[in-house]
Amino acid sequence: MMRILCLKNIFNTFAQNRICSYIMRKSNYDKFPATRTEGRLFRGWDAICGQLNRDRRGPLAVDWYTGIHPEEVEPAFTSRFTRIVRMRDLMKSEAEIRRMTEPFMTDDVLFGYVTKLRIRDFFDPEKLSEARESLRDAGPDTLILGTGAALVMPGQATLAYLDMARWEIQQRFRRREVEALGVDNRQDPTSVQYKRGLFIDWKVLDYYKDGLFQRVDWWLDTNAAGDPKMISRETFFRGMDKTARKPFRVVPFFDPAPWGGQWMKEVCDLDRSVANYGWCFDCVPEENSLLLEVEGVRFELPSQDLILLRSREVLGEIVEARFGKDFPIRFDFLDTIGGGNLSLQVHPTTQFIREQFGMPYTQDESYYLLDAADDAVVYLGLKKGVDRDAMIEDLRAAQRGEIVFDAEKYVNKLPAKKHDHYLIPAGTIHCSGGGSMVLEISATPNIFTFKLWDWGRLGLDGKPRPINVERGRQVIQWERDTDYVKERLANHFEPVAEGEGWNEIRTGLHPNEFIETRRTTFSVPVTFHTEGGVHVLNLVDGEEAVVESPDGRFEPFVVHYAETFIIPACVEHYTIRPCGRSEGKSCMTVRASVRFHA
């Protein structure tokens, strides 16, 4: 058996000098964007519990999302009450819950099936009924504690909810700190913990939380261990309403990758001691956080709360009718400058993802080159006339470690330069090569990538990353060859409109994809109309620009180079112009929206 050497990212002085030549500015990228919100904020357990005791006359119900630290939260509350009802005691046994959720977990290391379970399915019906009856006349000495507390609390109770950002939950998975809903899975691999969250717990709890918004009296943020914060219902709604009616950004998060690069360290001002950063998720509302700034303090919530609560205002009626309370557009960064190739991969077709995983749509996507080294490339589509059987057999042999897969024998390797745009409808083999800074514009079904070949390298955990040749071969669109790529996928720029000091071109996406993208270059104010749907933009060139309302609906909103920002549908119309460091210069945005018509 042939031994394949693990490939390592090499970042030497030459590469560093080359990367730094791209960075002609001091970073002004805002890593903690927040909506300033009027209201009061209580910080620390003494202040929080003191306010909760002053505010209520009946029992206190403390409900929470998975991912909180019980060892921190429970002592803060329990010492103050004589009667305590723990919701975990009312749940079904762990064995029952594992059996109940097994069909959705499946036996795959990565992929499950979206559950249709609801929060009540996790509780013993008799225990739940008995608890509800026993609490009917409960007084202020009673504490109801844990996920599902609102299911049994009486009408006179005060409800506090401990929300949790999904990215922080994932960090706690990696540290094996938190349990799942009714299951102690802390010793499971991180990928399996994430799978249970994605396919089961988060679906169940988001549906449950969506019914609680009008009932919660107090919202708590315990994302930073030892630094709890609390805001009132009124402050929460004030922040949600303000955010939903103006341009806003969610909180970006960054993560290393086996192929990760060095570009984001400089542009986004990240920790230089970390080996690399491959990923940045800067517009994935299901995953990102939203910050409210109350009394000068940041209060962190899942940005999904805004979509659940204000989907009509943010998405627009037409987009909401099509996608419900899912935010359908995803922007993220893939940094391979000073790094290596991504895995050679393919995304499932809509039919496949619906049948196999219970998802309504798939991860159609595109690569917009935010920056590129001289030798940057994109692998895209199959070479004309490839033998599909031979290719699959070579992929299988590479998966077994018998050969090194010859990607260039089967897949087109295209030179890539700054501001290129490559379209990648589902079923198209692709990957970004080393030396690229990709703004990935895609739909948002999360982890649905079938890796076909990973260049013989190991993951950050020192283990081979999961390869999915057998699934991949079922969705590869073999007709997407060299001619198809040139004619339909590579840099299809179409002028749309222009005026003095500005122009706009259509850059895609492919007709199979529901996302439309436009690139606008401007040195003067330009006006955009949402036309009833949400817009997502990134400032892909220029250092600063300001988004303004022609009729004063929102305060001026400043964005910086490489920042992604969201324009809610209800804004209707807005202008963008260069400002600050870019005053008198030219800027460029890429704008994505849901395509209503072919």
Comparing C-alpha atoms, which of 218, 295, 281, 206 is closest to residue 251? 281
Return the structure tokens found at 303: 């940005």
Place of tokens 């490939």: 7
What are the residues facing 291 on neighbouring strands?
300
- Topology match between the domains 38-241 and 494-594: no
156 residue type, one letter: Q
Among residues 281, 280, 263, which one has the least CA distance to residue 272?
Answer: 263
* CATH tag, 38-241: 3.40.50
Burial 360-375 (b: 16+ CB within 10 A, else e): ebbbbbbbbbbbbbee
Residue pair 488/423 in contact by the 8 Å Cβ criterion? yes
User: Can you give the pLDDT at residue 377?
Assistant: 97
Token reading at 291: 């910050």
Within 121-201, residue ranges assigned H as helices are 125-134, 166-174, 190-196
Q: What is the pLDDT of residue 349?
A: 79
Query: Cα(395)–Cα(468) distance, rounded to whole angstroms?
Result: 10
Report residue 121: phi and psi, to 5°. -65, -20
Q: From CA 262, how far away is CA 284, in angstroms rounded?
A: 22
- Helix, strand, coil shares of the chain, percent, nearest 5, are 30, 30, 45
Q: Which fold has domain 494-594?
A: Jelly Rolls (2.60.120)
Q: What's residue 311's pLDDT?
A: 97
At residue 360, the pLDDT reads 63
Q: Pick from 254, 222, 306: which is nearest to 568 by CA? A: 306
Q: Do the Cβ atoms of 397 and 404 come closer than 8 Å?
A: no
Domain boundaries, the chain: 38-241, 494-594
Distance, CA of 411 to CA of 405 (rounded, Å): 11
Structure tokens of 133? 């009856």
DSSP class of 489: I
- Residue 499: CB atoms within 10 A of its CB come to 10
**Residue 206 has which token pair?**
């988001």
Phi, then psi, of 323 in degrees rounded to 5:
-115, 0
- pLDDT, tens digit only, all 598 positions of the chain: 333 333 333 333 334 444 444 444 578 999 999 999 999 999 999 999 999 999 888 999 999 999 999 999 999 999 889 999 999 999 999 999 999 999 999 887 778 888 999 999 999 999 999 999 999 999 999 999 999 999 999 999 999 999 999 999 999 999 999 999 999 999 999 989 999 999 999 999 999 999 999 999 999 999 999 999 999 999 999 999 999 999 999 999 999 999 999 999 999 999 999 999 999 999 988 889 999 999 999 999 999 999 999 999 999 999 999 999 999 999 999 999 999 999 999 988 778 777 777 666 667 789 999 999 999 999 999 999 999 999 999 999 999 999 999 999 999 999 999 999 999 998 999 999 999 999 999 886 566 788 999 998 877 777 777 788 998 999 999 999 999 999 999 999 999 999 999 999 999 877 878 899 999 999 999 999 999 999 999 999 999 999 999 999 999 999 999 999 999 999 999 999 999 999 999 999 999 999 876 5
